[in-house]
Amino acid sequence: MSESGKVTPSRMILLGVGWFGFQVFWAFHAGSMPLFLRTLTESKFTISLVLSLAGVAGCMIPPVIGYFSDRTSGRFGRRSPYVFLGLLGVLLCLLCLPHVGTFGIVALVSGLMYFSFRSAETPYLSLLPDITPQEQRSTASGVMNLFGSIGLISCFIASSVIWEENPTAVFYLVAFGSFCPALITISRIKEPEMPPQRPSKGTSPVGYLRDLVKETNVLMFFIAQFFWWFGFWMVSSFAALFVAEELGVSEAKAFLVLMTFSLVATVFMLPLGMLGDRFGRKGILSCLIILWAISEVIVGFSQNLTHAMITVGLTAIPFAGVMGVGLAYFLDLIPKERTAEFVGFSIISIAIAQIFGPLCGGKLIDTLGYRSIFPATAAFMIVGFVALQFVRSREVTEPSTQQ
């Protein structure tokens, strides 16, 4: 098990290689997918409905996949089969999407794509605590997200170059760019030999829920991260459209803003992750959320492409820290024998935000214009910061329950 010794840098890098592919997909979701949907409808709210399918899938799939992954045993491990089959489904959907002519079929294929992606995401994230000891998790998360940022950058650069000339090629690039890196990781990383978890005798749905509710600090963390990711999805789903329509920038140049965000996040990802291993994760995370809220307000004052690149780049600094430190702090709170299960529930709280964030953002834009979403985003992030202050570490709460 990972707790018996430190994980090597090479294994951290190998984890990052697979996460590179996952973030290629999210770059496509944030940049190319809204532009593709705009060719089928002008309504931002309708576009947000399709984009929110990623959140719907995130509410339904992760805890189920996590539950079965924790209880799977076999020659291919507990995580790898789910990662392989899920990303294979994503690949097939991406190859089909640009050739579908009607909006209804596009929505259906998109839904299948997001459900397949979520089936792979939870088991893959669970590989991190499976092979990494607690004292290295912020660093390992930083390395993993560093490679993820490189995936974002790579996708945004490629999209900005080829989108206007050949958008279909972007779909093909993302299809294989998501599948192949993760295939490399799961074929090279040998999962630790751990017996699958079995439900205790007499477990019922009601008993299961009661057991879940006892993890009060984990549930409070879910509430906190819901609010800051709600704000993030409210703006990120329309970032490319904000630059193209509000600032009058071409679609190709709109990708430059997203690329700047990814470049800045890449620079800060690993240092902030390492900082989380050396100092208190909760304190650092709290500061990052406040900085994130302030920086989102500043983005709303952008008047041209240069302003947008600078201000959006500023938001990437706290984003980078939250990705690394936030994940490590969450893993500190959960029972290690139910890793994938709780990772699945964590994704639910993010996914619900991914549903309602874009819907709220689209409605605000249709009603008040693009600039209204930035102060609204900051307000939701502040609520998340307040909720985070009520979370206590697992090390603090466990001794008291034994007295």
Question: Residue 270 class from Cβ within 10 Å (0-12 exposed, 13-18 middle, 19+ buried)?
Answer: buried
Count: domains in the chain = 1
As a whole number of angstroms, the distance between CA 199 and CA 196 comes to: 10
The answer to the question of residue 2 being in a domain is no
Q: Which alpha helices (DSSP H) does 2-102 contain, by range?
A: 9-30, 32-38, 44-51, 53-60, 62-70, 80-96
Confidence at residue 93, expressed as pLDDT on a 0 to 100 scale: 95
How many residues appear in the chain? 403
**DSSP of 37-51, one letter per residue?**
HHTT---HHHHHHHH
Q: What is the CA radius of gyration of the chain?
A: 20
As a whole number of angstroms, the distance between CA 57 and CA 64 comes to: 11
The answer to the question of residue 73 being in a domain is yes
As a whole number of angstroms, the distance between CA 132 and CA 116 comes to: 26
Contact by Cβ (8 Å): 326, 333: no
The answer to the question of residue 204 being in a domain is no
Residues of the chain with pLDDT under 70: 1-5, 194-212, 276-277, 337, 394-403
The answer to the question of residue 57 being in a domain is yes
Confidence at residue 314, expressed as pLDDT on a 0 to 100 scale: 93
The answer to the question of residue 168 being in a domain is yes
Confidence at residue 402, expressed as pLDDT on a 0 to 100 scale: 36
The answer to the question of residue 387 being in a domain is yes
How many other CB atoms sit within 10 Å of the CB of residue 282?
A: 18
Tell me which residue range forms the domain holding 158. 8-191+210-395
Instruction: Look up residue 27 and give its amino acid.
Output: A
The answer to the question of residue 202 being in a domain is no
Confidence at residue 9, expressed as pLDDT on a 0 to 100 scale: 81
Q: What CATH number corresponds to the domain at position 168?
A: 1.20.1250.20
The answer to the question of residue 29 being in a domain is yes
